[in-house]
């Protein structure tokens, strides 16, 4: 790719393979519990009426959409879009429809279509320059009066700041910068949503646990987050911040040991908003 070629999704740091498919599905359960109190839709006031339309943007395997479909009437039409279909679950429920689309360019016929849009964990996928366009597209496809929910992790402020944790955080920071990604996005979402036209913006900040000190949920956090870091090795090498696969694997081994001893956590933003009626 030459420097002036623009390909949406080209700098996504994770691969699309069986290991990552399993990890995303596992992480879905962890995040739902750790950051959303076990709910797929954080805002308890939101109820889905018969025949309403929902979009899961940047859906990955489609697990959020499928989980939602399993808990409600099949008259609810659920769309799940992603730039790549390589991780889509085969044979989803009949009311879940997969679409290949970048969130920066959603289908023209989706204007004002959705009662609810969910988007989770695009921090490692969208270039800093793509975020305003992505939020404008989400705004376009939500019905007037409809709602959205964005969930993004913030890896800038892990606690406690132990040596290996700080080293990994700094490596991530450098790789994001080198790839054009924006590690600060979660904290900027409320302002950016306001600029995009959304109202009633609520930014709920949770601390997601990592390490066995926290019990079962912390161990699930380790599998989810350390697994993601391990699967990102190729991109970290591409960004030039990691010397070899072996060095990186041993760094993540030591990170997991720190989590188990100290009980770490990182910030997770769940940002809810509405399009004015
Ligand atoms: C970390 S995964 C999260 C998947 C899912 N939202 C979840 O929480 O399980 C990020 C997803 O964003 C997708 N992606 C990357 N760039 C995208 C773009 N420009 N538009 C839509 N999806 C994109 C990737 O293909 C990947 O499936």
Domain 18-274, CATH homologous superfamily name and number: Vaccinia Virus protein VP39 (3.40.50.150)
Percent of the chain whose predicted confidence (pLDDT) is above 70: 98
Give yes or no for residue 2 having a pLDDT over 80.
no
Mean pLDDT confidence for 208-230: 97
CA of 193 to the centre of ligand 1 (A): 19
Q: Is the CB of 24 under 6 A from ligand 1?
A: yes
How does pLDDT run across 73-92, given as a tens digit for each residue?
A: 999 999 999 999 999 999 99
CA of 130 to the centre of ligand 1 (A): 13
CA of 209 to the centre of ligand 1 (A): 23
**What single string gives the DSSP state of each residue in 199-251?**
EEEEEEEEEEEESGGG-HHHHHHHHHHHHHHHHTHHHHHHTT--S-HHHHHHH
Give me the phi and psi of 13, to 5 degrees please.
Answer: -85, -5
Q: Which atom of ligand 1 is nearest to the CA of 56?
A: 6
Mean pLDDT (the chain) is: 95
How does pLDDT run across 143-188, given as a tens digit for each residue?
A: 999 999 999 999 998 899 999 999 999 999 999 999 999 999 999 9
How does pLDDT run across 184-208, given as a tens digit for each residue?
A: 999 999 999 999 999 999 999 999 9
Q: Give the mutation target among 32, 102, 122 for probing the ligand 1 site: most ligand atoms within 8 A of CB.
A: 122
CA of 9 to the centre of ligand 1 (A): 8
Residue 8 pLDDT level (bands cut at 50, 70, 90): confident
How does pLDDT run across 94-132, given as a tens digit for each residue?
A: 999 999 999 999 999 999 999 999 999 999 999 999 999
Per-residue pLDDT, 1: 38
What are the residue ranges spanned by the domains of the chain? 18-274
Per-residue pLDDT, 263: 96
CA of 261 to the centre of ligand 1 (A): 32
Q: Whose CA is nearest to atom 4 of ligand 1?
A: 60
**What single string gives the DSSP state of each residue in 38-74?**
T-SSS-TT--PPTT-EEEEET-TTSHHHHHHHHTS-T
Residue 8 or 49, more confident: 49
Q: Which atom of ligand 1 is nearest to the CA of 9?
A: 16
Per-residue pLDDT, 219: 98
**How many angstroms separate the first and last alpha carbons of the chain?**
43
């Amino acid at each position: 790719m030459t420097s002036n070629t623009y390909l949406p999704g080209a700098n996504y740091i994770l691969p699309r393979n069986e290991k990552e498919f399993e990890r995303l599905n596992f992480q879905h359960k962890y995040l739902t519990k750790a950051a959303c109190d076990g709910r797929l839709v954080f805002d308890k006031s939101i109820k889905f009426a018969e025949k309403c339309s929902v979009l899961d943007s940047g859906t990955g395997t489609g697990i959020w959409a499928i989980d939602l479909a399993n808990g409600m009437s099949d008259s609810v039409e659920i769309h799940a879009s992603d730039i790549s279909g390589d991780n889509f679950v085969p044979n989803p429920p009949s009311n879940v429809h997969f679409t290949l689309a970048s969130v920066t360019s959603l289908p023209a016929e989706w204007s004002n279509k959705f009662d609810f849009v969910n988007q989770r964990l695009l921090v490692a996928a969208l270039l800093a320059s793509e975020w305003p366009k992505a939020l404008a597209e989400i705004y376009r496809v939500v019905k007037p009066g409809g709602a959205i929910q964005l969930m993004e992790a913030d890896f800038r402020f892990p606690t406690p700041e132990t040596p290996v944790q700080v080293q990994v955080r700094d490596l991530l920071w450098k790789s994001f910068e080198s790839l054009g990604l924006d590690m600060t996005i979660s904290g900027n979402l409320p302002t950016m949503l306001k600029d995009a036209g959304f109202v009633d913006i609520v930014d709920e900040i949770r601390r997601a646990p990592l390490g066995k000190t926290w019990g079962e949920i912390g161990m699930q956090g380790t599998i989810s987050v350390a697994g993601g870091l391990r699967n990102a090795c190729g991109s970290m090498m591409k960004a030039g911040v990691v010397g070899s696969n072996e060095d990186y694997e041993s760094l993540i081994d030591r990170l997991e040991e720190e989590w188990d001893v100290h009980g770490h956590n990182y910030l997770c933003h769940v940002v809810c908003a509405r399009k004015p009626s």
